[in-house]
Amino acid sequence: MTGSYAALRRKIVTIATSEELWPFIWMGAALLICRWIASLVLPVYDDAFITFRYSRNLATRNGFVYHPGEWVLGTTTPGFGLLVSLFYVLGLPMPQTVVVMNIVLDAVVFCVTLCTVPKNERQVFGAILGALLAISPIMTRISVGGMEMDLYLVGCVLSILLYLRQFKRSAVILAAICYFLRPEALVLLGLLCAIEWFSGKRSNAFRLGLFASMVLAVPSILIFSFYGQVLPQSVIAKSDLAKPLLLDMLRQLLAPDPLIALLILPATWGFVVSVRRAGFSKIVGMWSVIYLATYIVARPKIWSWYGEPIYYAIVLLATLGGIDLIARWSRLRQAFALKWSCPLIAGLCVAVWMFVWVRLGPSAVTRQVYEPLKAWCRDNTRENTSILAYDIGVIGYYSNARIYDLAGLVWPAALSSTETDVIQTYWPDYLFLNATQSTVKLMGSAPFNKLYQPVAQFSRANLPVWGASVEHYPADWVQDYIMFRKQSVEHRQD
């Protein structure tokens, strides 16, 4: 027993002092620190609070619903919602717990990806990949936004790794489970089965597809039995929106920020290299191409977090392309191989986000929109209060009121009604509207200018005082809001 303990201790010491471990430590730590700093600068997405309300209702035994008693599956990610409900049961602070979890999951993605690289390349590969992940504006924004995409990405990456390690049944089962995090998991599931098919293992491909179908079937039957449909209402509502222009979609998926745009060229070369090398990067490259093609064919409206698998693939393939180019310059290769290269690059990444924090300061949306709105809801709303809104996340989460969801994500009736129809049919107690030109025009016209009056403004910027001309307001969506209250009969007569 003593000898076994000594051998184990020697093995731990060997691993701890191995140079192969330092890229994991330095760049992993830099990634965690950068994400933490970014969480102070960037707010949680409004949409995340929709799932949080579902989770809280389940934890408080009101069912996995947005409104108790109304069985509408308005969250695209029921699996993530079930996980988050556990956080409420445990009494963990929300949404901070989800943000911390997502930051850790980003570090897991980095470490798992680095494990797929040959040991002699990990120093250089880890430095480049870790730096790109740490400073990427879009991937950072998604991570601290409180959405399901980080968990989804971890599941997909592990599924690919399991497949390569010959745990193919486990791989497709995990990919099928990821469907309940994001429906796009069917792309990866189909790819893994197709690889088996075209590699000549057709019977095995059929068996893997059968296992995946069994995993998908049971939860889908349960969803149908409770909600009367398999597809979430949020998916149906978003598919009803106008299709974006192809160029706009490509810009959002391939150039969401300057860094990703700059990486397209080296990522293209990295894809060529990945085809030669096969393995993990090749599957990720094929996955991202099919993922992009699926979006181009379907042409749904894009929200920023939808493209995270593509952004991850671009970063990974750009790193691979960079490695190939570095190998052609001996001096550059030697510079990256030095022991201090990872600490230096990690420090530079942290310095970048420190500069951003000093320049921008704490999130204006959190301080000037979310927190005042939370206080307003506490003082002015009850469960029987009715509120009409397009952005139903934060207002629904902090008020727990009856929400008339104009986007139709949790309220199917909205898809066949206009904003004016909903107001004149239900006459909600409050209208929580984005501070845009369309809102000014609507609420400045009869009869709404007599029936509703502004009572509060929630703005991250200097929102004009109500009554300013239409031109002073933005034409498109903005995360600034005006709250209108329905006037009493006596007040209207006065």
pLDDT attached to residue 2: 52
Mean residue pLDDT across the chain: 89
Residue 489: pLDDT over 90 = no
pLDDT interval class at 20 (50, 70, 90): low
Residue 13: pLDDT over 50 = no
Residue 227: pLDDT over 60 = yes
pLDDT attached to residue 175: 96
CA dist., res. 451 & res. 447, Å (int): 6
pLDDT attached to residue 329: 67
pLDDT interval class at 493 (50, 70, 90): very low
pLDDT attached to residue 337: 62
CA dist., res. 148 & res. 285, Å (int): 22
The mean pLDDT of 261-283, rounded to a whole number, is: 91
Q: Percent helix, strand, coil in the chain (nearest 5)?
A: 70, 5, 25
CA dist., res. 70 & res. 73, Å (int): 9
The mean pLDDT of 148-175, rounded to a whole number, is: 96
Residue 363: pLDDT over 70 = yes
The mean pLDDT of 157-176, rounded to a whole number, is: 95
Burial class (CB in 10 A: 0-12, 13-18, 19+), 34: buried
Least confident of 32-36, 77-81, 199-203, 485-489: 485-489
The mean pLDDT of 164-177, rounded to a whole number, is: 95
197-217 pLDDT per residue, tens = 998 888 999 999 999 999 999
CA dist., res. 82 & res. 72, Å (int): 15
- CB-CB contact of 145 with 38 (8 Å): no
Residue 233: pLDDT over 60 = yes
Residue 494: pLDDT over 60 = no
pLDDT more than 90, % of the chain: 70
pLDDT more than 70, % of the chain: 92
Residue 374: pLDDT over 90 = yes
pLDDT interval class at 80 (50, 70, 90): very high
Residue 58: pLDDT over 70 = yes
Least confident of 82-86, 275-279, 376-380: 275-279
Residue 10: pLDDT over 60 = no
404-414 pLDDT per residue, tens = 999 999 999 99
pLDDT interval class at 12 (50, 70, 90): very low
CA dist., res. 99 & res. 84, Å (int): 11
Residue 295: pLDDT over 90 = yes
pLDDT interval class at 242 (50, 70, 90): confident
Structure tokens at 470: 């239409």
- CB-CB contact of 23 with 123 (8 Å): yes
CA dist., res. 80 & res. 100, Å (int): 15
- Taking alpha carbons only, the member of 259, 267, 249 closest to residue 306 is 249
Cα dihedral sign, 58-63-64-68 = negative
pLDDT attached to residue 490: 43
CA 201 to chain centre: 35
pLDDT attached to residue 323: 86
110-128 pLDDT per residue, tens = 999 999 988 878 888 898 9
pLDDT attached to residue 122: 84
pLDDT attached to residue 214: 94
Using N-to-C axis directions, what is the helix angle for 280-298 and 308-326, rounded to 10°?
A: 140
319-357 pLDDT per residue, tens = 999 888 877 766 666 656 666 778 888 999 999 999 999
pLDDT attached to residue 332: 60
pLDDT interval class at 99 (50, 70, 90): very high
118-161 pLDDT per residue, tens = 887 888 889 899 999 999 999 999 999 999 999 999 999 999 99
